Structures are given as C-alpha cells and as structure tokens.
Amino acid sequence: MNETRLERNITVRTEAENSLEASNSHVRVESLEWNSGEEDVERHFEIDGENQEALVAVTVDPIVEGIVIEDDDHDNVKFCRRKLCLYGVILVLSISVVSILFSVLIRPHVVSPTFSPSTFMPSAAPTTANFADFKNTLIIMTSNVGAKIIEKESGIQDNFRNKSSAQYRALKWLYYDDGAALDTPNILQRYTLAVFYYTTGGDDWLHCSQGDKVCKNRKISYLTPHVNECLWFGNKCQDGHIISLSFGTSIGNNLQGTIPSELAFLNKITFIDFTNNKLKSPLPNTIGNLTSLSSLYLYNNLFEELCDGFFHLKSLQFFSIYGNQLRGTISSKFGELTHLKILSLQLNVLTGTIPSHLSRLKNLKELYLFHNSINGTFPEEVLEIKSLERLSYANNFQLSGTLPSKIGSLPYLTEYSVSNCNLTGIIPDEYFNLTVIESFKFNSNKLYGTLSTLIGNFQSLISLELAGNNFTGSIPFQIGNIPTLRKLLLQNNSLFGEMPETICDRQRWSSRYLEIEADCAGEVPKVKCDEFCCTKCY
C-alpha cells in the first residue's frame, strides 16, 4: 500500500451522515482516485488511526484537483524549489551588473539634454579615444547634411582639426561639458548653436554669456550644459526645432565676427534678428539653405556685401540691412525674392542705378533706399507695384529726373520722401489724388512752380516739407483746411505774401501744436508771419 498525504480540503461523509473536515487531518487511502467534484466510492480507509469501511462521498476542491505529493519526497521538492529560486535571483543580478558595467565603460556620456531641462550628470568622465570617435562621427554627420545644401562651404571639416576654431571648441563643449552622445536628439542643432556662440564671440556678449548667473528676459545663459537649447537666451523653438534667433536690441548684444556656415543646419528657422551688433562679411553662401526664413534683420552691423546664396531665400518677406557698409550696385537678383514685403537698403554706400527688376516684387509694401550714392533716375516700372505704402530714396545727391506722375496711382501710399536729391520740375496734379498720404518730403531739390490750390484735398496729411526749392507765388489758404497737418516747412523758397489766416488760426486756437517754418525773418520778410503763428523764421 502506498501512503500519500493529501494536501487538500477533503470532506468525507459516511452513510451515517457524519462529516469530517480533513483539511488538518492525515487521510490514508488505498488506491484512491478521484476527479473534481463529488464522487461516491467504496473503499477501505483510515482516519486518525481508526479503521473504517463504508460507502463514502469524497469531495475534492476542484481548483487544485489531482495534485498529490509523495510524503517521502515532500521536503526534497521544497528544497529544490528554494534552490532554483536562488539560482534565478543570482542570474538576474549577474546580468544587471554586466549591463551597468558595459554602460559605464563603453558609453559613459549617453545623456539626453535636448528634451529635458532638468540637470543630469554623466556617469563617467569621457576618454580621449572616445572623443576622437565622437569627432569623426560628427564630421560624417555634418558632411551628409552639408551635401544637401546649395553650396557646401569649403573647410568645414578642416575646422574640426583646428583646435582654436569655433567648430573644435563647440565639439569639446558638446562632449566634455555637455556630455552629449551621438544619439542625443537634435545633436546637430545643439552643435550648430555652440559654433554660433564661439564664432560671434559669445564670451564677450553683453547678456547671457556662458556661465552668467543672471540672464535677460528670464532666459537661461547660452551653453548651459544639460539644459534644453530652446531655453537659452535668444532662442525660440517649435516642436524641438529652432525657429528664431533674436539678438537685436536697441544696443545689441555685442555679437562680433562672422555668421557661421553651420547656421544652415537650422533649416526650420523663420526669424533672425542680429541688429545693432558688430557682425561683418562674408555672409555665408550656405544661408541659402534656410528655405523657411521669412525675416532677416541685419541693420547696424559691418557687412560690406551680400552673397549669391542670399538670393536663394525664396520665402524671405522682411529684409533690413541698413546702416552697414554695403558697396557696389543694387543687385537685380532682388527681383527674384518675390515674397518681399519690406526691403531696407538705406544708410549704406551703394552706387549705380536702381534696377527696374524691383518691379517684380508685387508684394512689396516698403522700399527704403535713402542715404546711398545712387545715380540715374528712379525707374517708373517700380511704381507699378500697387501695394507700395512707403517709398524713400532721399539723400542720393546724384539721383536726378522729375517727380514721377505714377506716384499718384498708388492707392495705399502713406509716405513719399525724396529730399536732398537733384530733382527738378513741378509737383504733378496726380499727387493730389492720394487720399491716404501722410507725409510728403521734397526738401532740398530744384522743384519749382506755384503751389496748387488742390493741396487742400489731402485729408490725412501730417507732414508737408517743401523747404529748399524754387517754389514761387503765394501760400494757398487751402493748406489750413488740412485737418491732420502738424508740420509745414516752406522756408528757402521764393514764396511771398502773408501766411494765410486759415493756417495761423489753427496755430492760435488748436490744442495741437503745429510746426510752421517760413521765410519770415528780416526787416522786410518775404512772408509776413507773426511769432504766434510761425515757429521759426529764416
């Protein structure tokens, strides 16, 4: 007879309907078999040493049916189970330790600074050998991207080998200070911004240089390790990509040097403002890769020329480079930037004529060419741009010709300035059709004729500047009917007579100050105007 210990809840009911819960009793049975549920069997069995024989009903817990453990092997089974569990734990721990050692020794610099502004620490100091691999791989990455741009600048890879170059310094910062890895998200973007920092003399910036504890506009200093580059001063991102670099203020940020070719890697950027700094030529040809760029502000820097790549910026809408040292002629290629709305080339040393190709800029609203050395005549083809709102080519002393009559056909024109040129002729009658004009500046030319009484048609004119010409006759009283007038310059002409009362009454009784200048000085003034009317006499 095999003795088995049944580790089950078994209910045994005899014919006498007595029952016994055998969960804590040892039941010895002889060749007992059962299925789940309740089954009547007739067997000889013993309960707690007392032999009984009867028709019994045996009920076995169905969840654990049919599991029987030999009494002699019970302890051995438990021991084996414990041993197997111990071996399993040891195996898991061993694998974990090996993984950690591999991570520390092979890739000590794996971090992700781009998408998390929180601080992190590299697990170990990088080695020289790893830095060489890091550098070589990044060279390949930049080469692959560089092959896609319009014109790859020569020497980009050579800069990696020059330990004093901005590129090499950026690489060192990226690897040693920032702890970045080659699979760091946006690593090329992070590298580009570091190159930009070193190329423009970032350590001498006025605001937010590397290590500055206090930064402007609640931003974070540039090249702060382990911090998302989108949070650095001057940067703005969308979906993790740089879309704006803004370093132009009323006093700038003391950016010096040149714009790096690597800036072309920021191919999602739409806005760049480097105004009031000390950046100089050359403007990199690779800038043409910035196909999404719509605004480029470079005024008050030291640029002397534009590059061919600039004219590939087909999305450009706003371009201002006034107050630089641009030389040569105005390129006809500007006519290819058909999305331009504002073109500011004033306060440079540009020469030659104004290209008629500018007439292709059908979306142009503002054109500023003043304070250059432009000659010839203004091309009337440009005046076919009906969207023009502001036009100034003043202070070009060699610019000749007459006032073009087509100006009168520009329905949205609010400002027209041609002072200090070499223009002759009269003011065309078509000009008096400009219903929204706010400023006429015709000072210091060779214009002549009488002032038309139609001048009273202007209902929005704020400034009328006619000084330094050869106008003759009397001053029309209709000028006093212009409700918005604030500035009237009539001096250094051949006008005579009395200043109309309609004008002087405006000065005496209006709460708004009216600046009036005329030839009203001397014992016998050409224009009679008392001190309560004219603010300055010549």
Top pLDDT among 47 and 348 is at 348
- Domain residue limits, the chain: 4-75, 127-326
Query: For the chain, what's the residue count?
Result: 538
What percent of the chain clears pLDDT 90, i.e. is strictly above it?
64
Mean pLDDT for all residues in the chain: 81
The pLDDT tens digits for 226-255 are 999 999 999 999 999 999 999 998 899 999
The pLDDT tens digits for 55-73 are 444 444 443 333 333 444 4
3-state secondary structure of 95: helix
Helix H, strand E, coil C: the string for 327-395 is CCECCHHHHHCCCCCEEECCCCCCEECCCHHHHHCCCCCEEECCCCEEEEECCHHHHHCCCCCEEECCC
* Backbone torsion region of residue 441, taken as left when φ is above 0, otherwise alpha when ψ lies between -120 and 50, otherwise beta: beta
| Single-letter amino acid code for the residue at 189 | Q
Asked if residues 221 and 253 have their Cβ atoms less than 8 Å apart, the reply is no
Highest mean pLDDT among 114-123, 454-463, 504-513: 454-463
| Beta-strand pair 390-392/241-246 | unpaired
Q: 10 Å Cβ neighbour count for 339?
A: 15
262: its two tokens: 């690597």
Dihedral (CA of 153, 154, 157, 160) sign:
negative
Q: What is the pLDDT, as a whole number, of residue 526? A: 97
Task: Give the whole-angstrom CA distance, residue 328 versus residue 56.
Answer: 117
CA distances from 436 to 394, 433, 443, 476, 488 (A): 21, 9, 21, 21, 18
The pLDDT tens digits for 369-379 are 999 999 999 99
Fold of 127-326: 3.80.10
Asked if residues 180 and 189 have their Cβ atoms less than 8 Å apart, the reply is no
| Angle 216-219-221 from CA coordinates, rounded to 5° | 85
Asked if residues 369 and 377 have their Cβ atoms less than 8 Å apart, the reply is no
Task: Give the whole-angstrom CA distance, residue 203 versus residue 259.
Answer: 16
pLDDT above 80: residue 28 = no
Tokens 């009328």 correspond to: 464
Nearest to 429 by CA among 403, 466, 465, 411: 403
- Cis amide leading into 500 (omega within 30): no
Burial class (CB in 10 A: 0-12, 13-18, 19+), 236: middle
The pLDDT tens digits for 494-509 are 999 999 999 999 888 8
Q: What is the average per-residue pLDDT within 277-287? A: 96
| E-only strand ranges, 172-265 | 235-238, 241-246, 256-257
| Beta-strand pair 390-392/69-70 | unpaired
Predicted confidence band at 466 (pLDDT cuts at 50, 70, 90)?
very high
Q: Which long-range contacts (CB under 8 A, 24 or more apart) does 226-231 make?
A: 226/111, 226/113, 226/118, 226/119, 226/120, 226/121, 226/178, 226/179, 227/113, 227/117, 227/119, 228/113, 228/114, 228/115, 228/116, 228/117, 229/113, 229/114, 229/186, 229/189, 229/190, 229/193, 231/117
The pLDDT tens digits for 148-191 are 443 444 455 677 778 899 999 999 999 999 988 888 889 999 99
Q: What is the pLDDT, as a whole number, of residue 506? A: 85
Q: What is the pLDDT, as a whole number, of residue 137? A: 80
Task: Give the whole-angstrom CA distance, residue 57 versus residue 244.
Answer: 85
Nearest to 33 by CA among 22, 24, 25, 42: 42
